[in-house]
Amino acid sequence: MRTSRKGSVEMPGFMRQLVKETEKRVSSFFKGGRGGAAEGEQPADGEREEVIPSPYLDRPVLDKLTEEGCARWGLTYALGSMQGWRAHMEDFHNCVPQLGGELADWSFFAVFDGHAGSTVAQYCSQHLLGQVLATGGMGPEDDPERVKGAITEGFLQTDKHLHSVARREGWERGGTTVVAALISPYYIYFANCGDSRAMLCRSSQVCFSTEDHKPYCPLEKERIESAGGSVSIQRINGSLAVSRALGDFSYKGAENRTATQQMVSPEPEVCVVQRSPADEFLVLACDGVWDTISNEDLCAFIHNRLSVCTDLRDVCTQVIDLCLYKGSLDNISIILLCFPGAPQLSAEALHQEAELEDLLESKVAEIYDELSIREEEPDLLSVLTVLASTDIPGLPPGGGIQSKAWEALEKLGWSPRIHGRTVIHIIIKTVFFMCAL
């Protein structure tokens, strides 16, 4: 089989034309026109076309930050994080498997998804835990109500101190969502502020997940409007896509209203789940993950991956790649926490995985050769489109063809690096997804 076409992939002519037309229409829309100037038409005298910096790159940054560790009571964890298509990396995290002192059997983990810059996310990642601990509400007695109060107060104090720093240093723009898990010997405390999400899997099923805070949710919308704001195109004042966050002080100036009554509230939703021997794993992730995969599918996918992977960093990397290939255009960050009851390596699962990889490799080779025989230039899009419409047994549950196709292509000499502008990426992934339905 010929494998001379490696690296950058030539797009078919019809796709190039589609991309060209799409880019024109998208550019016209964002410039506020109703179709824009005709091709070759010059702007009126004195008019200058405003150049709006794109929040996306021409190609994604695929380098991944990974981290792993464990706690003395049996918890293991890994972090995976990638900039992806975004022009800047705005995610931060906390991984503290042991708090120390009388809280040596407690753990704290959090994902901070910044927007309009990374400064707020970075600040909160450095100070939130300290503010929670400073309340004194956590101790050996492990009183759920006191701990919930401590977490809430820690968030509010972090936002208050952040506002003082922002005014002093002149960076009031920007904010961050937060999703965190505080694990004690008896309970798991979930704190969510925004649209990042936590999910607990128990006995192979989703046991619990946090609720996203979006402006169009009834209670959130009521608070926003009471504070003088509005919700349009599912955003606060047509701009901000989350209704709770730390920072975002331009949305927190309503007079005679408390911090939790502003358009954007810094108050987390805190939930408590009693621990169980059946607990398997817990996921904390930004919306770059959840925009492309459901709770149930991610639970099934990770459960399957844990039966064939011993390195949790590799599992996180596979989740990130899956979300990227499913079309995520955001920064992607995930923390995976495994309890003693998590799935273990399985000889049967490893055998099935090897059979699947051999099958996929042979399928890709067949498709390539068939296209060549028909004198159709075998490009990446053509191969993926045919592969996605092929019945392939044994694909990872929750992951499907997107989780394995690129491995087969790489074995045959095609690099899975993604090329081209964001709009090309969207079109490719749309075609790929629709073929997989």
Q: How confident is the model at residue 430 (pLDDT cuts 50, 70, 90)?
A: very low
Choose the final residue of a domain: 291, 309, 338.
Answer: 338
Helix/strand/coil for 160: helix
Residue 173: pLDDT band (50, 70, 90) is confident
pLDDT band (50, 70, 90) for residue 405: low
Whether the per-residue pLDDT at 130 is higher than 90: the answer is: yes
Identify whether residues 138 and 277 lie together within a single domain.
yes
333 and 367 inside one domain = no
Tokens of 56: 């996306």
pTM of the predicted model as reported, rounded to 2 decimal places: 0.84
Return the pLDDT at 402: 84
Confidence of residue 47 (pLDDT cuts 50, 70, 90): low
Residue 62 located in a structural domain: yes
Q: What is the mean pLDDT of residues 268-284?
A: 98
Indicate whether 362 and 242 sit together in one domain: no
- Any idea what the CATH number is for the domain that residue 212 is in? 3.60.40.10
Q: Are residues 157 and 300 in the same domain?
A: yes
Do 295 and 326 sit in the same domain of this protein? Answer: yes
> 255 lies in a domain?
yes
Q: Are 335 and 285 in contact (CB under 8 A)?
A: yes
Residue span of the structural domain in which 410 resides:
347-436
Dist. CA 404–CA 400, nearest whole Å:
7
**pLDDT above 70 (res 45):** no
Q: Which of 314, 338, 362 is the last residue of a domain?
A: 338
Mean pLDDT of the chain: 85
Q: Is residue 6 part of a domain?
A: no
Segment 194-230, tens digit of pLDDT = 999 999 999 999 999 999 999 999 999 999 999 999 9
Q: How confident is the model at residue 44 (pLDDT cuts 50, 70, 90)?
A: low
- CB-based contact 78:324 (threshold 8 Å): no
Residue 338: predicted pLDDT: 98
pLDDT at 8: 35
Query: What pLDDT is stored for residue 408 in this prediction?
Result: 62
- Within this chain, do residues 240 and 381 fall inside the same structural domain, yes or no? no
Q: Please tell me whether residues 332 and 351 are part of one structural domain.
A: no
380-294-242 Cα angle (round to 5): 105
Decide which of 338, 372, 397 is a domain's last residue.
338
Give residue-wise pLDDT tens across range 324-371: 988 899 999 999 999 999 999 999 999 999 999 899 888 888 888 888
What is the tally of structural domains in the chain? Answer: 2
Tokens at residue 394, please? 């044994």
Question: Among 12-16, 99-103, 241-245, 360-364, which is the least confidently predicted range?
Answer: 12-16
pLDDT range class, residue 16, cuts 50, 70, 90: very low
* Residue 10 included in any domain: no
Strands 235-236 and 231-232: antiparallel
Whether the pLDDT of residue 51 is over 90: the answer is: no
- Is residue 4 in some structural domain? no
If DSSP codes are grouped into helix, strand and coil, which group holds residue 80? strand
What integer pLDDT is reported at residue 211 of this predicted model? 97
Question: Do residues 246 and 174 share a domain?
Answer: yes
